[in-house]
Structure 1
Amino acid sequence: MTFAWDDLRFVLAIGRSGNLAAAATALSVNHSTMFRRLNAIEASIGAKLFERLATGYRPTEAGQRLIEAAERMETEALALDRDLTGRDTRLSGQLRVTCSETLGLKVLTPLIRSFRDRHPGIVVELSVDNRQVDMARREADVAIRATRPAEGDLFGRKIADIHWGFFAARDYLARRSRPKILSALGGHDLIGWADNAPQTKAGAFLQRQVPRATFGFRANGFVSQYAAARAGLGIALLPIYLAAEDGELVPVLGRVADLVTEMWIVTHRSLKDTARVRTFMDDVGNGVKREIARLSR
Structure 2
Amino acid sequence: MDDWNELRLVLAVHRTGGLTAAAGALGIDHSTVFRRLNALEKRLGVRLFERLPGGSYQVTPAGERMAAAAERMEYEMLSLDRDLAGRDHRLSGKLRITSSETLAYSMLTRHVAAFRQAYPGIVVELLIDNRVLSLSRREADIALRPVRPREGDLWGRKLADVGWTLYASPAVLDAIGGPLTRGEDVVGRPLIGWEEHIAGIAAADWLASHAPGIAFVYRTSSLVNQLVAAKAGIGVALLPCYLGDGHHALVRALADPIPELAGELWIVTHADLKGTARVRAFFDIVGEGLVGERAVFEGKPT
User: 1:254 and 1:47 mapped to 2: Cα distance?
Assistant: 64
Cα drift, residue 292 of structure 1: 4.4
Asked if 1:23 is matched to 2:25, the reply is no
Corresponding residue for 1:293? 295
TM-score by length of structure 1 reads 0.93
User: 2:177 and 2:116 mapped to 1: Cα distance?
Assistant: 47
Cα drift, residue 7 of structure 1: 1.1
Secondary structure, in 3 states, of the residue corresponding to 1:158? strand
Amino acid at match of 1:260: A
User: 2:11 and 2:45 mapped to 1: Cα distance?
Assistant: 18
Map residues 206-245 of structure 1 onto 2, 5 A cutoff.
Answer: 206-210=207-211, 214-245=215-246
Cα drift, residue 155 of structure 1: 0.6
- String of CA shifts for 1:15-60, please: whole Å, max 9, x gaps: 1122212111111111221122112222322222222222422222
User: 1:138 and 1:104 mapped to 2: Cα distance?
Assistant: 20
Q: 2:268 aligns with which of 266, 269, 272?
A: 266
Asked if 1:41 is matched to 2:43, the reply is no
Asked if 1:196 is matched to 2:197, the reply is yes
Amino acid at match of 1:241: Y
Map residues 15-94 of structure 1 onto 2, 5 A cutoff.
Answer: 15-55=14-54, 56-94=56-94
- String of CA shifts for 1:197-250, please: whole Å, max 9, x gaps: 342232333344556882222222321221221121211111111112211101
Corresponding residue for 2:281? 279
Amino acid at match of 1:69: A
User: 1:88 and 1:167 mapped to 2: Cα distance?
Assistant: 46
User: 2:141 and 2:197 mapped to 1: Cα distance?
Assistant: 28
User: 2:292 and 2:89 mapped to 1: Cα distance?
Assistant: 27
Secondary structure, in 3 states, of the residue corresponding to 2:292? helix
Map residues 118-267 of structure 1 onto 2, 5 A cutoff.
Answer: 118-182=118-182, 183-210=184-211, 214-258=215-259, 259-267=261-269
- Give the number of equivalent residue pairs: 296
Gap regions ≥5 residues in structure 2: none
User: 1:231 and 1:156 mapped to 2: Cα distance?
Assistant: 38
Cα drift, residue 168 of structure 1: 0.2
User: 1:48 and 1:29 mapped to 2: Cα distance?
Assistant: 22
Cα drift, residue 172 of structure 1: 1.6
- Structure number with higher strand proportion: 1
Gap regions ≥5 residues in structure 1: none
User: 1:27 and 1:72 mapped to 2: Cα distance?
Assistant: 18
Cα drift, residue 174 of structure 1: 3.6
Does the Cα contact within 8 Å between 2:172 and 2:233 map onto a contact in 1?
A: yes
Secondary structure, in 3 states, of the residue corresponding to 2:253? strand
Cα drift, residue 75 of structure 1: 1.0
User: 1:195 and 1:124 mapped to 2: Cα distance?
Assistant: 35
Amino acid at match of 1:281: F
Cα drift, residue 146 of structure 1: 0.6
Cα drift, residue 82 of structure 1: 0.8
Identity %: 49
